[in-house]
Structure 1
Amino acid sequence: MVINTWDYPEANTKAWSVLNLSKGGLGQTLNAVVEGISECERLQCGKAVGYGGCPDEQGDTSLDALVMDGRTMEIGAVADLRRIRSAIKVARHVLEHTKHTLLVGDAADDFANEMGFQNETLNTSESMEFWMKWRANNCQPNFRKNVHPDPKVSCGPYSPLTSWKDDISRSEYEIGPNNHDTITMIAIDEESNIHVGASTNGLKYTIPGRVGDSSIPGGGTYADNDVGAAITTGDGDIMMRFLPSLLAVEALRAGRTPAEASRLALRRIGKYESKFDGAVVVVNRLGQYAVTCHGFEGEFSYMVSSPALPDRPMRKETIKCTMSKEELEASSF
């Protein structure tokens, strides 16, 4: 099966074709994840994946990506790429051609050049137009807090305040059907070999150098052939603090169902953050899956390909984000 976050059918179709038409053997799930996510990067899915989207405070677009092998537990990841468009393929090269897990910044771009990737601009006229309108609106919204001048009305430059009252809300950065963030994907073959992957250009107008959860193992993705895998999407700055994908996979290991595991991962976050946008997709090693979400303007969509429904091998599914405040604040384990 192949399952990915958001209504990105092209990525799912590409991954499913690689997996379903292959003749088996180790690595087909890796090929499926990389090719599926690459298709989304090429198509600039939702302007949240690939080049030409989500400029930072300086107007630049940067990319994060990760791929993980559930058989060996090896990971390749990159963060803050600024010259290479194929982030997921660079992450694969980190997995296959280094003994490291994560490369970041200019050095990650240099590594990509060594591996044969060519430099290309990640900015487009559209992304620069987004940025110029944001600047004209006094840089609103932004991710600054406890600084002078007031980040609610000014573009800076900023300096730290020595005393403050922390009343900053993240509601203005809401992620939802019209403001996607990240593609994450699981591919699992008939022998329960699993790969997971992620790619994103982050949130709009972040502070340069910001890295979200997509390239953090256990944050946006995690896999273990012994039990299954989990992927997430949402407010990465909040979700990465709790490693929800790792929590969900460990819940599977403890005997929880996919539905229980996905709910438990979100509850851990909800104990500390009642206002956030997030979804957790959990698949066990047999391909049974469940999805739980919070926020997202009330619903969340994802794509699934599997032989479970022969008349609809590739399909969009949508769930309501109905977890109550009490459920979110409940103890996780």
Structure 2
Amino acid sequence: MQDRRKFLKWSAAGAALLSLDRPALAAAVTRRQRPEAVRPLVVSTWDFGIPANAAAWEVLRSGGRALDAVEAGVKVPEADPQIQTIGLGGFPDRDGHVTLDACIMDEKGNAGSVGCLEHIVHAISVARRVMEKTPHVMLVGDGALQFALEQGFPRQHLLTPASEKAWRKWLQTSKYKPEINIENKAAGRKTAFSPLRLPGNRYNHDTIGMLALDAAGNLSGACTTSGLAYKMHGRVGDSPILGAGLFVDNEIGAATSTGVGEATMRICGTHTVVELMRQGHSPEEACRMTVERVVKKDPDYARSIQLGFLAINKQGEIGAWCLQKGFNYAVYSQQTPNRLIDGKSYF
């Protein structure tokens, strides 16, 4: 009699589970398996991510929105003339023009970006205005500048004396070849990556990508750069391209990339990372698998460049992977005070 009662009890429970559709059942199981989310949280690429994270954390710790946090965060390196790969003081293209690329994406899938933007320090804020004030996702070149000026952004000369001096020195040879993990003698330490041998700058790698998870559990991301130094005029990299330099899916996670943008553009790298997380892979696994895809397509090319991915998921798990040793990223949460972490590498 006791066995019969147990059988009826478990049969009823099984019937209740079967009455759920499969997606609902899978979601219920997943919710039971997942640990409590780590939030708020902000991560960003490279060592200039430390001061950028500090600005973003001021927004997050007071209950602010992830979108506001990532904009505030990346504006810090954009305004620092000593960082010669972002915003003010960025290295020019081969014709002497400082052109900026940026994009921003929120938890609802809204996005805005600018490409080849001149004369405006905070490209990320212009990208946000594109998202919020226009029916478009991207504005480029003269049109992006016209829009920025109409929105009240001040026009400013972005080529600083230091960057102009380096450009004029480059013009003597006009050599254009990426170099990986070169020694920055002026700073007295090795940098993670330089698109060229560029003496005298404190930071000589490239993009800042930032991802945030706020207290409400929402994700946003931002990405901004002045691009490869001495590039062809009009070149646009991955930073303003959704799915290449940045991608956010509030159900799953977010990813950003850094390094030679052409490599991630060819595989929609950050979208690939997020889709791999959707399939159940951790952020680190997803970044590693995406890097492996780059290597598989062209091993010799992959050995000659640097490319890295940084990702977080809805639970606040973090992962990163790059082609070459030397990539690092900054993390800030209540559990992890603002600090740098070395990313794992394929080579």
Candidates 49, 54, 65, aligned match of 1:13 = 54
Q: For the residues of structure 1 that align with 2:197 and 2:274, how far apart are their CA atoms?
A: 24
1:285 aligns with 2:314: yes
- Structure-1 residue corresponding to 2:33: none
- Structure-2 residue corresponding to 1:2: 42
1:252 aligns with 2:277: yes
Q: Residue 21 of structure 1: CA displacement?
A: 2.0
Structure 1 portions without partners, runs of 5+: 144-170, 325-333
Aligned pair in 2 of structure 1 residues 126, 193: CA closer, same or farther (>3 Å)? same
Where is the helix percentage greater, Structure 1 or Structure 2? 2
Give deviations 1:135-186, integer Å, cap 9, x for gaps.
Answer: 112x11269xxxxxxxxxxxxxxxxxxxxxxxxxxx9946999631100000
- Structure-1 residue corresponding to 2:254: 229
Aligned Cα root-mean-square deviation (Å): 2.0
- Residues 101 and 114, structure 2, Cα contact 8 Å, conserved in 1: yes
1:58 aligns with 2:95: yes
Q: Residue 289 of structure 1: CA displacement?
A: 0.8
- Structure-2 residue corresponding to 1:141: 176
Give deviations 1:209-263, integer Å, cap 9, x for gaps.
Answer: 0000000001111111101111110111222111110001001111111121111
AA matched with 2:315:
L
Matches within 5 A, 1:1-333: 1-8=41-48, 9-22=50-63, 24=64, 28-44=65-81, 46-69=83-106, 71-137=107-173, 139-141=174-176, 173=195, 179-274=204-299, 275=303, 276-295=305-324, 298-309=325-336, 313-321=337-345, 323-324=346-347
AA matched with 1:272:
K
Q: Residue 44 of structure 1: CA displacement?
A: 3.7
SS in 2 for 1:96: helix
SS in 2 for 1:43: coil
- Residues 174 and 277, structure 1, Cα contact 8 Å, conserved in 2: no
Give deviations 1:66-102, integer Å, cap 9, x for gaps.
Answer: 0001x32111000111121110010010011111000
Q: Residue 55 of structure 1: CA displacement?
A: 1.2
Q: Residue 128 of structure 1: CA displacement?
A: 1.3
TM-score, normalised relative to structure 1:
0.81
- Residues 82 and 89, structure 2, Cα contact 8 Å, conserved in 1: no
Aligned pair in 2 of structure 1 residues 283, 221: CA closer, same or farther (>3 Å)? same
Structure 2 portions without partners, runs of 5+: 1-40, 179-192
Q: For the residues of structure 2 that align with 1:238 and 1:269, how far apart are their CA atoms?
A: 7
SS in 1 for 2:121: coil
Give deviations 1:187-215, integer Å, cap 9, x for gaps.
Answer: 11133201100000011110000000000
Aligned pair in 2 of structure 1 residues 19, 44: CA closer, same or farther (>3 Å)? farther
TM-score, normalised relative to structure 2:
0.78
Aligned length: 285
AA matched with 2:142:
D
- Residues 55 and 130, structure 1, Cα contact 8 Å, conserved in 2: no
SS in 1 for 2:222: strand
AA matched with 2:99:
S
- Residues 90 and 98, structure 2, Cα contact 8 Å, conserved in 1: yes
SS in 2 for 1:271: helix
SS in 1 for 2:76: helix
- Residues 175 and 235, structure 1, Cα contact 8 Å, conserved in 2: no
Q: For the residues of structure 1 that align with 2:95 and 2:56, how far apart are their CA atoms?
A: 34
Look at both structures and tell me which one has the larger radius of gyration over its CA atoms.
2
AA matched with 2:76:
E
- Percent identity between the aligned chains? 38
